[in-house]
């Protein structure tokens, strides 16, 4: 059968459009001022990781002989060209946004100072800190041999100083320029000053206003003569480099378990010296300095970004988090409590009573921590099995696992050492858990364990009982306050049996037995989803109702997209809430007329994965750890867990429906890859995250005072 000629949006530009949607919120006057600053910082952080990983990976592909194209048919070179153009425009927009925010901040008592703004008192204050803290922390690097690039950390701010040559002021005489070097090199030399990471980028300065600050590089610039006494500074400029972060461990071989730990340490070190893929530099830098850095770092001209504003806008988190300016921030939305899961409550009795579905961060994440802590302290608990992908620095969950081991429980923890950029923290926790007596498994060879599950085995009067937590988000209390995720607590026998089989397969390096309810990647998750999509398609072809609703972070997998195209052509109504990358092209005649794609960007990061299928009226709902990407479906351990309890299903459907009725923070994807405001079809505008927060409050009110009449929020759709 001839394959249909479907069309797809480019993966990388789709991600950049997501970051643009985040940046757009920084321009919105309706967003509180410091929240706008935060959104600007988020876009800078996002872009740093994108350049490191995605752009860095493409440069490696371009240098190889592999003929690899993305889903839209673009090769590495074409993607690199598109990315450079789009990133350059985006960074210029970020600077424009910063310049727009500065006067607004000043009007409200938050003022950035430059050298010309300093009073004598402020100058003396900064000089004291410069001499006592900055000078003692920095270590200038004199560049003598340009053929040996200096060791410069990626994403770290540096200052490049051009100094007039004067051998009488040098401990080591200037080397004679090589034949291929410009004679002008005799007149000056370069010194690079890495700015220490342990010093704040934003320095508070005494002021009669509410808050004044100066950036670290500006302070260094003011007092350069103190750093290079008696020498003539010709010019100086801040710069910042991004190194290729697409460095991963090849664990397909027969390495021993200990070698994986050493291999991950080597990956962390390799990222520190990988190729420079982006040079950010002030647009005020001299051509000589720019040429010097380009040659030193061996970076292409196209990858030099000369910016008319501060570099490293990710450091603006320090401004967005200022205390005393709550009126410039979002109204606080403290997570609502869940009384049945409070510390000291009988959590196991609550789960036995019925399945419980929680929606974070609208509902507190403490129930997850309390569940594991209760298991650690309960005399009847025999064993705990847990996955950890990305966890908090001060993790109450990991501490509870240590306590459980100390209390004699059999504790097994699968710590994924290959969680990108969290490798060091996970290595630290793995060692600490091992020292506490926990049986630690370093993931699965050739796969990343991305599934989120905890299994508690308890000996009760009626026999052995299994209690589970399944989630869409990481076991990380810090990000759980910022990410939208779903938790399921259950003691369903079949789910418990499935969880045991899966844990045993991972720890025993074997193929899991067939599971009754859970679908797992890379075993049968892809096939299970395909079956449900195809069933909707077949029902629609028979003139029966077909409907699919999916919420996830990324939609890239070609097979899944093709299946959704075919469902649309059969008449299935397909509603997709895709936060980030979406390669599916909606609204295209003959291909996707019945597909609608929205993206919600608001104060919380949308992170949950939810799947709904009408299924001939017998509605099926699932939560998952997986996005619809090849890596999730084929190269990771992921879970698709059914939600069967009637109350849980109904609530999850309300949550899912809410997003498709958002007219405040949602945008809609068009077939050309652009996003537009959602057309308002109802008089009442809906902001999904606010609706969900209020809904969680109604649930708390009903649970604490069941006699009170509760006015439930109107169900969207």
What residues are annotated to the active site? Answer: 450
Rounded distance between C-alpha atoms, residue 401 and residue 380, angstroms: 16
Rounded distance between C-alpha atoms, residue 317 and residue 313, angstroms: 8
Structure tokens given for 380: 């009847």
Strands (E), 472-531: 483-490, 519-521
Buried b (16+ CB within 10 A) or exposed e, 588-598: beebbebbbbb
- 154 closest CA partner among 44, 54, 272: 272
223: CB partners within 8 A, 6+ apart: 126, 127, 130, 134
Q: 22 by DSSP, 3-state: which? A: helix
7: CB partners within 8 A, 6+ apart: 72, 585, 588, 591
Rounded distance between C-alpha atoms, residue 226 and residue 581, angstroms: 49
Cα Rg of the chain, angstroms: 28
In contact, 642 and 636? CB cutoff 8 Å: no
In contact, 643 and 649? CB cutoff 8 Å: yes
DSSP 443-455: -BTTBEE---EEE
Structure tokens given for 558: 């070609």
In contact, 402 and 388? CB cutoff 8 Å: no
CA distances from 613 to 356, 557, 594, 648 (A): 21, 19, 15, 15
Rounded distance between C-alpha atoms, residue 415 and residue 394, angstroms: 16
Rounded distance between C-alpha atoms, residue 376 and residue 395, angstroms: 15
Kindly tell me the sign of the dihedral angle through the C-alpha atoms of 321, 326, 327, 330: positive
């Amino acid at each position: 059968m001839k394959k249909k000629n479907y069309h797809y949006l480019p993966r990388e530009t789709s991600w950049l459009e997501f970051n643009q949607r985040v940046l757009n919120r920084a321009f919105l006057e309706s967003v509180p001022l410091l929240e706008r600053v935060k959104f600007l910082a988020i876009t800078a952080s996002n872009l740093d990781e994108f350049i490191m990983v995605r752009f860095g990976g493409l440069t490696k592909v371009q240098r190889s002989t592999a003929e690899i194209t993305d889903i839209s048919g673009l090769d590495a070179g074409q993607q690199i060209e598109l990315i450079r153009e789009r990133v350059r425009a985006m960074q210029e927009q970020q600077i424009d946004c910063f310049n727009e925010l500065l006067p607004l901040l000043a009007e409200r008592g938050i003022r950035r100072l430059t050298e010309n703004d300093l009073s004598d008192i402020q100058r003396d204050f900064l000089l004291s800190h410069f001499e006592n803290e900055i000078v003692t922390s920095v270590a200038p690097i004199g560049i003598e041999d340009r053929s040996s690039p200096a060791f410069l950390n990626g994403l770290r701010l540096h200052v490049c100083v051009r100094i007039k040559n004067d051998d009488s002021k040098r401990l080591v005489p200037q080397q004679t320029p090589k034949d291929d070097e410009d004679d002008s090199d005799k007149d000056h030399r370069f010194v690079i000053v890495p700015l220490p990471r342990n010093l704040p980028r934003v320095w508070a300065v005494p002021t009669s206003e509410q808050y004044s600050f100066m950036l670290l590089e500006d302070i260094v610039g003011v007092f350069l003569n103190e750093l290079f006494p008696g020498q003539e500074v010709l010019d100086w400029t801040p710069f910042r480099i991004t190194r290729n972060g697409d460095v991963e461990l090849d664990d397909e071989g027969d390495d021993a378990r200990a070698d994986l730990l050493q291999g991950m340490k080597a990956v962390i070190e390799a990222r520190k010296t990988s190729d420079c893929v982006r040079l950010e530099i002030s647009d005020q830098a001299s051509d000589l300095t720019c040429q010097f850095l380009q040659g030193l770092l061996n970076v292409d001209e196209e990858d030099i970004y000369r910016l008319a504003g501060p570099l490293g806008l990710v450091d603006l988190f320090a401004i967005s988090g200022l205390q005393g300016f709550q009126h410039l921030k979002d109204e606080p939305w403290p997570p609502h409590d869940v009384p049945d899961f409070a510390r000291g409550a009988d959590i196991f009795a609550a789960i036995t009573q019925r399945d419980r579905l929680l929606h974070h961060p609208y509902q507190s994440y403490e129930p997850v921590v309390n569940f594991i802590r209760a298991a650690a302290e309960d005399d009847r608990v025999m064993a705990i099995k847990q996955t950890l992908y990305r966890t908090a620095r001060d993790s109450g969950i990991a501490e509870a696992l240590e306590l459980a081991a100390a209390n004699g429980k059999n504790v097994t923890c699968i710590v994924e050492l290959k969680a990108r950029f969290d490798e060091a923290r996970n290595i630290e926790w793995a060692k600490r858990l091992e020292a506490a007596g926990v049986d630690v498994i370093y993931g699965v060879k050739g796969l990343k364990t991305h599934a989120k599950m905890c299994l508690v085995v308890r000996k009760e009067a009626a026999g052995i009982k299994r209690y589970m937590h399944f989630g869409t988000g990481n076991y990380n209390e810090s990000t759980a306050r910022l990410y939208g995720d779903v938790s399921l607590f259950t003691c369903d026998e079949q789910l418990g049996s499935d969880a045991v089989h899966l844990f045993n397969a991972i720890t025993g390096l074997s193929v899991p037995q067939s599971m009754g309810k859970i679908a797992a990647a890379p075993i049968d998750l892809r096939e299970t989803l395909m079956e449900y999509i195809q069933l909707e398609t077949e029902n629609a072809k028979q003139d029966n109702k077909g409907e699919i609703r999916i919420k996830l972070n990324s939609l890239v997998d070609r097979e899944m997209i093709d299946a959704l195209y075919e469902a649309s052509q059969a008449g299935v109504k397909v509603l997709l809430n895709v936060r980030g990358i979406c390669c599916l092209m909606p609204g295209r005649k003959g291909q996707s007329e019945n597909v609608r794609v929205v993206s919600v960007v608001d104060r919380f990061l949308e992170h949950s994965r939810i799947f709904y299928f009408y299924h001939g009226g017998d509605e099926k709902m699932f939560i998952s750890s997986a996005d619809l990407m090849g890596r999730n479906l084929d190269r990771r351990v992921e879970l698709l867990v059914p939600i069967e309890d009637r109350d849980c299903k109904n609530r999850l459907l309300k949550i899912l429906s809410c997003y498709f009725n958002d007219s405040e923070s949602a945008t809609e994807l068009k077939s050309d890859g652009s996003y537009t405001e959602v057309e308002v079809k109802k008089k009442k505008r809906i902001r999904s995250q606010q609706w969900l927060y209020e809904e969680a409050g109604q649930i708390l009110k009903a649970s604490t005072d069941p006699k009170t009449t509760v006015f439930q929020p109107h169900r969207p759709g």
